[in-house]
Amino acid sequence: MAQKFKVVDSIWFNQIGIVKVETEHYGNKYYIGEGVGLDRQEDEQKIARNGMPVYKSIINEFFKED
């Protein structure tokens, strides 16, 4: 059985998602990836498991208003 990640938030751009995962020892981690688009929770788990790590500072800078 695949590990179940504690996804506490996500943001979606069509099928591309950024998920916020609460870890037991390392605080919150962020991952970006592509979902299938049929089941949000399954897509969140897929991205948490296989997505590319993203640093919070990069996310904040990207969404910062000019």
Residue 64 banded pLDDT, cuts 50, 70, 90:
confident
Domain boundaries, the chain: 1-32
Cα–Cα dist 35/19, whole Å: 11
User: DSSP code of 38?
Assistant: S
Q: Report pTM.
A: 0.88
Mean pLDDT (the chain) is 93
Sequence length of the chain is 66
Within 10 A of 44 (CB to CB), how many other CB atoms are there?
Answer: 24
Q: Mention every residue, 6+ apart, whose C-beta is less than 8 A from residue 34.
A: 15, 16, 17, 47
Cα–Cα dist 5/34, whole Å: 16
